[in-house]
Structure 1
Amino acid sequence: MSALRLRRDPRAERAARLVPGNGRLRYDMSATPEGPMTSPSGRLRRDPRAERQRLLTTGRDGRARLVRSGLVGQMAAGAASPASVVKKIRVEQPEFFIIVVPDLPEGRLDRTDRQVLGAARKLADAGSGAVVVVGATVDEASLGQAGTDRFVPLSDHSDPEARITELVAVMNALSPRYVLLPESEEGADIARRLAARTGLGLTVGIEALGPKQVIRPCGAGRQEWAGDLTPLMTLAPDRVSAWEGDAHEILPLETMPEKPVLAPARMTVGALQSADPATMNLGDAPFVVSAGRGVTDFTAFRSTVRALHATPGASRVVCDNGDMPRATQVGASGTILDALCYVALGIAGAPQHLQGLGRVEHVVAVNTDLHAAMVARAGLAIIADAQAVMPALCAVLAAEYGEQGA
């Protein structure tokens, strides 16, 4: 469909329908005369639908988006869609390195890891540096999108001292300007072990970071301390923004650090034991499935939660009605979640409820209202009745994984 088409001429059509009268203008609307009325006016008419279709592209998160600036002429001429051209930034000869040691829970970058990479990207872009991630095996595409330039894999050690020895070997080989870690349970332990092993300065719990100065709380958090950057630093969660620019291309290091000879392990760390999602604290649960006003079959809801191996949650209305315990309430007056994924079944999304999702990474909404606030908040939405979706989901899980669910 062309974005420009010939436009009708209403004045010519009106004049063509004019018939003689006794001093007053009369029009014969049933007439279909030939002549100027049937011919176009010669003026061009815009086609908004075709223009919008040509501006439509796919964003990095997979959502449809419109690109309006400077692309109309290119698209009209048949130029390639911007979505087909992936732009990546290459840092080929950096002047210095910044090492990031992320937690990588379950082999993925979580929210805090991305924030630490965003801080490292800020320091690297202040000069001509490159960001090096040192950690377990992880998807390099996600690392590049988070602003990583190099990647050094570590061995899977259960002995924390062996991991520190390997990290020190990487630091000796690259001579990084800074080493950044998250101020998490694991990251804080590694940072303090590195400081004890290397004797380098350490600043913990940083809340504001710049190229020349950092700020962290002191005096039980009632005051702030500002000082220079140190070789080792840990960042508090949700204080620094993640990288939102173009993805970086991960290039190989010119010389990979040699694996050190490790001494026999003095201690081993056992495998993590998964908690029972049905009884774990709602604020600590990584996967929460909640019921709202749109859920009427709570037997099917509990079966769906069990099949997904998730922690049950609920909206305030459901808890007020007594259909779910008060401890499962999500929102400003309930529990603030820190989950990886949140599935909202029949929840419209009141402001108080949405406040409970401030730190949730992925939201899935099931609702009959296309314009519900929860649908707008969700990364994936199913516009359907929750009573129809829940048994269908359980059937899919049973067919894929058996009766035990996912």
Structure 2
Amino acid sequence: MRRLSPVHGYLATANMRANSRRLAAAVTPIVLAVAVVSVQLFSQSTLSAAAGRQAVDGVVADHVVTGSDGGVGAAVTDELRDELGDDATVTPVVHSQVVVRYNELGDPAQAAFAAQGLDPAGLDRTLDLEVREGDLGDLRDGTVALSRSASATFGASVGETVEIVLGDGTTIEPTVVAVYGRGLGFGDVTLPHDQLAEHTTTGLDSWVLVGGGDAETVAQVTAEHPGLVAGTGSDLSAAGSAERAAETSSSLVAILALLAYLAVSVVNTLVMATAERTREFALLRLAGAARRHVLAMMRVEAAVIVAVSVVVGLLVALPPLVGLSFGLTESPVPSISPAGFAGIVLATALIGFLAIGIPARAALRLRPVDAIGLRE
């Protein structure tokens, strides 16, 4: 700071060195606010980014048929199979929400999870769920496959049973036949296609994956059915994305409320710390510093406080974000949203500069000879 601003930087650094406790008192609430908001924002962005990557990486099909009007009917799947023949694998995928009942720390618990239903025949040509245990080829009525996260949550591995409530309230207790890694992209629960579809409201498939086959034939069949679109795996959204978006919106409201509370604490601390320096400002002016010099010194101090608060706050948030990322994605690198990071920096700077600048200007309105006689 002294190199950048020999006069104002010198005054600011001398003040901060001499009053390190005051600096710490000003920085601490901002660090808390930055850390809390960072964990909330970047945990959501890490989850969404991982789900999107899994959805794209897991689809190995050459063609993907989706419906713009809510889904794809079973007749389209049958027609694709008839037209493409044995040279192609056609895998319809239906999505739903299920409720799983399980024990958590010895107490009964239940929660809703994104589920998909699919036919395991020829699945290696259309979908790669990254199987860790068991075999998806064993998926049939009375069985289920779980994501790695769901398997750990339910305490159910291959060969054990889980209690699942389907969309229409039907309760089943299937046996786990496989555990896979890409649960964020495709849902935590995978059931046989026909079993899940018959318990949904419409019975329509979300996607139809086609491995192999002629692209023109797929396009021709799709064109014969208004509302259908033929594309690639990159066009798909991750399973449960709508639910996660809703959760993100509700979390954002909670974050804003928490941020408002923390902002009040931060502003109070900074305003009080600045207002108490009226005699200090008067002494500087009596020693020869102009009003603009004192204001420039305070801007330098505010910049230091904001910079230190952002850096330390992000460092405090890093361990929980790394742990969360590793637990969900098996990667220690969290996904930090550039927009979220920029928002945190701008909000911190706005609060810091205003909460320091306004009371400093108010304190400088007094004549130095009058202000020097005031009590601390």
User: TM-score scaled by structure 2?
Assistant: 0.27
Structure 1 length normalisation: TM-score?
0.26
Pick the structure with more helix per residue. 2
Higher relative contact order (CA 8 A, sep 6+): 2
